[in-house]
Copies of this chain bind each other. A is one copy, B any other.
Amino acid sequence: MKIAIVLFEGFTALDAVGPYQMLSHTPGYETCFVAERTGPVADDAGTLALVAAKTLAEVPAPDILVVPGGPGQERQVENETLLGWLRAADTATTWTTSVCTGSLLLAAAGLLRGRRATSHWLAMEALRTYGAEPTGERVVTDGKYMTAAGVSAGIDMGLTLAGLLAGDRFAQSVQLLTEYDPQPPYDAGSPDKAPADLVAEMRDGSRFILQ
C-alpha cells in the first residue's frame, strides 16, 4: 500500500512533514514524495528543499493521497497536469487528504464539490468558491476525504489517519515516540484566540502571509 505526498514549488514544509512523520512508519504502507519532476523541490521560504523520489506519472494509483498547501498552490490551481493527476489518482485512493491550502488544489480538481472540508483560516472563502462547504473544525472528514486546517493541523490529521489505517494502539505508539504532547508557549494558534489586531492585520493583508 502506497502513501503519496505531493510536492510543488512553494509548498509549506510542515504541511508535508507533519503528516509524513505520523504516517511514515505505518505497517504495510510505503510513503513516497512525488512531484511533476523528481529531485529537490523548494519550499515557500526557499531555504529548504525536499526531494521528490518519483514523478506523478510513476505513482498513478496511490492508496493514500496527501496534498500539502503553501503559497505555491496559487500557481498550481491552474496546473492541469497536477489537477488531472489528482483527479485520476483519487479514483484509486482509500483516503484523499490535504493540509492547509492543499484543500484548494483538491477543490480546484473538482474533488470537494458539495463536501464539508477545511483549509487555512485565511483560505476558507476561497475554498467555498470551488463549491466545498468550509467548516471550522481542525480535521474534517467527509467520506474518504480528510482535510486539515493550516500547517500544523496536518500533524493531528496524520495521527488521526494513522489510527484509522493501523489502529488506535499504533497511533498511540506514534504519538508517544514523537512525544506529541504539545505545550505551545503562546495561545495564539487560531483567529479566535490570537490578538484581534493581529488577526485583522492578516485578514487585510498588511502583515506577511505564509498560508
Contact = CB atoms under 8 A, between A and B. Distances in A.
Interface of A: 12-14, 17-18, 20-21, 24-25, 30-33, 40, 45, 47-51, 53, 100, 120-121, 138-139, 149-153, 155-156, 159-160, 163, 168-169, 171-186, 188-191, 193-195, 198-199, 202, 207-211
20 contacts: A14-B21, A24-B47, A24-B48, A25-B208, A25-B210, A47-B53, A120-B179, A150-B179, A152-B178, A152-B180, A156-B183, A159-B185, A169-B195, A171-B185, A171-B186, A173-B188, A175-B194, A176-B190, A177-B211, A178-B189
A34 to B, nearest CB: 12
Nearest to A156: B183
Copies in the complex: 2
A184 B33 CA distance: 24
B149 A177 contact: no
A49 B144 CA distance: 29
A48 B47 contact: no
A21 B12 contact: yes
A151 B171 contact: no
A175 B184 contact: yes
Scoring A121, A193, A208, A210 by chain B CB atoms within 10 A of each residue's CB, the highest score goes to A210
B50 A24 contact: no
A181 B13 CA distance: 17
A17 to B, nearest CB: 4
Given A152-B155, A176-B189, 18 more contacts: A13-B24, A24-B47, A40-B51, A49-B50, A139-B183, A139-B185, A152-B180, A156-B184, A159-B186, A173-B202, A175-B184, A175-B186, A175-B188, A176-B198, A177-B202, A179-B190, A180-B182, A182-B189
